Amino acid sequence: MPSLIIRAAASVLLVAATLISMSLTAAAQDKVVRIGYQKSSTLLTILKSRGTLEAGLKPLGYSLTWNEFTSGLPLLEALNVGAIDVSADVADTVPVFAQAAGAKLTYIAQEAPSPSAQAIVVPAGSPITQVADLKGKKVAVTKAAGVHYLLIATLEKAGLSFKDIEPAYLTPADARAALENGSVAAWVTWDPFLAAVQQQAKARILADGKGVADYQRYYLAATPFAEGNPKAIAFIFDELQKTGKWVKDNPAEAATLLAPLWGLDAAIVTQANERRSYAVRAVLPANLGEQQRIADIFQTAGLLPKKIDATDVPIWKPGS
């Protein structure tokens, strides 16, 4: 009898060990999706707070990690060196710089234009009343961000060149401080930073992107990841579309959710969200025309190391 009990106990332990081993093996086989995002990545911020992607990707064999960046350029640099797999929305200029650097990236989604969601602002009491007044002035801008293109295009529209101003390449936090302490005459920024400086510091909009820069934001993935994980990309794309629609259909609820995550008042979040389209759609080669204009302007200004074909980038297609 004791030997039977011992053998039975051994069998139970063997089964338990086998199950634990199988569980650990399955867990070890989960692919990790490393997502990069920034403060203006509204839709992914919401998905992160709700745990939506974790819940939906887990049955497909994926786990997630989240990595925050100050702006789009360092985000795509991380994508280029293999530190992340999927990039949250970045301004239209950023993929152009990444492409010029030889990054192996794939477009997976695009937000429809939001031209008023970025602007050149000046302090409330500034004597500057038109873009031409920026000549000879120091202007804060984030390098390679969408606002960088907005600044160049707006200056050209006013009959100036980028060489007519003194750029101060700063992160959004440092740029706002510089504007408020008078170190720069103007700041080119985007939402939610734009809405925040308008409401909190009473900054005045000198010019926004309407008629100058469409400001289409792009979601990207490292090409090897996009090619090897179509189901994961498809799920992320679908959830981005749903979340974008939810934000526009439920502005008050969206602002209440985002306000504590961003450390901003709900009124600021509401204003920022009103200016963003959040209309997530598939990327079409025909929609990349402004990407080429951006590339050509930066290359002509000597800010892009070489001429590129903006359409020479892989595009993920829903259903592929």
* Residue showing tokens 């100058």: 212
| Percent of the chain at pLDDT exceeding 90 | 77
Question: What order do you get walking across the sheet with 186-190 strand by strand?
Answer: 166-169, 138-141, 186-190, 118-122, 204-208
pLDDT above 90 (res 305):
no
Chain segment 2-47, per-residue pLDDT in tens: 343 334 334 433 433 443 343 333 344 579 999 999 988 999 999 9
- Of 249, 282, 190, 214, the closest CA to residue 46 belongs to 249
- What's the whole-number mean pLDDT along residues 222-250? 97
Mean pLDDT (whole number) for 51-79: 93
Q: Which pLDDT value is given to residue 21? A: 41
Which residue is listed with tokens 């970025």?
A: 118
Nearest 10 degrees: CA dihedral of 66, 71, 77, 78?
A: -10
More confident: 91 or 255: 255
pLDDT of res. 303: 87
| pLDDT at site 8 | 37
In this prediction, residue 24 carries a pLDDT of: 39
pLDDT computed for residue 25 by the predictor = 37
Q: In the predicted model, what is the mean pLDDT of residues 43-68?
A: 96
* pLDDT recorded at residue 29: 54
Confidence label for 68 from pLDDT (cuts 50, 70 and 90): very high
What average pLDDT does this structure show over 162-184?
97
So where are the chain's domains? Answer: 29-113+216-300, 115-208
Does the pLDDT of residue 107 top 50, yes or no? yes
Residue 181 CB burial class (10 angstroms; 0-12, 13-18, ≥19): exposed
Mean pLDDT for 174-194 is 97
Q: Higher pLDDT residue, 102 or 234?
A: 234
Is the per-residue pLDDT at 262 higher than 80?
A: yes
Instruction: Check if the beta carbon of residue 226 is closer than 8 Å to that of residue 106.
Output: yes
Query: According to the model, what pLDDT value does residue 28 have?
Result: 42
Per-residue tokens: 143: 């390098």
Q: Rounded to whole angstroms, how far apart are CA atoms 81 and 87?
A: 13
| Non-local CB neighbours of 48 within 8 Å, separated by 6+ positions | 37, 66
Average pLDDT over residues 213-232: 95
- φ, ψ of residue 32 in degrees (nearest 5): -95, 125
Average pLDDT (239-264) is 97
29-113+216-300 against 115-208: fold identical: yes
Can you name the residues that pair with 166 across neighbouring β-strands? 138
CATH assignment of 115-208, among 3.40.190.10, 3.30.450.40, 3.30.60.50, 3.40.50.1820: 3.40.190.10
* CA dist., res. 254 & res. 246, Å (int): 8
Q: Whole-angstrom Cα distance, residue 11 to residue 212?
A: 74
Residue 76 structure tokens: 């795509």
Determine the longest span between alpha carbons in the chain, in angstroms: 99
pLDDT of residue 260 exceeding 80, the answer is yes
Q: Judge whether residue 50 has pLDDT over 50.
A: yes
Percentage, residues of the chain above pLDDT 70: 91
**CB of 258 closer than 8 Å to CB of 42:** yes
Q: What pTM did the predictor assign?
A: 0.84
Please choose, from the candidates 146, 123, 111, 97, the residue with its C-alpha nearest in 3D space to the C-alpha of residue 237.
Answer: 111
Q: Which CATH class is domain 29-113+216-300?
A: alpha beta
If you compute the radius of gyration of the chain from its CA atoms, what whole number of angstroms results?
Answer: 23
Mean pLDDT of the chain: 89
Q: Report the pLDDT averaged over residues 174-189.
A: 98
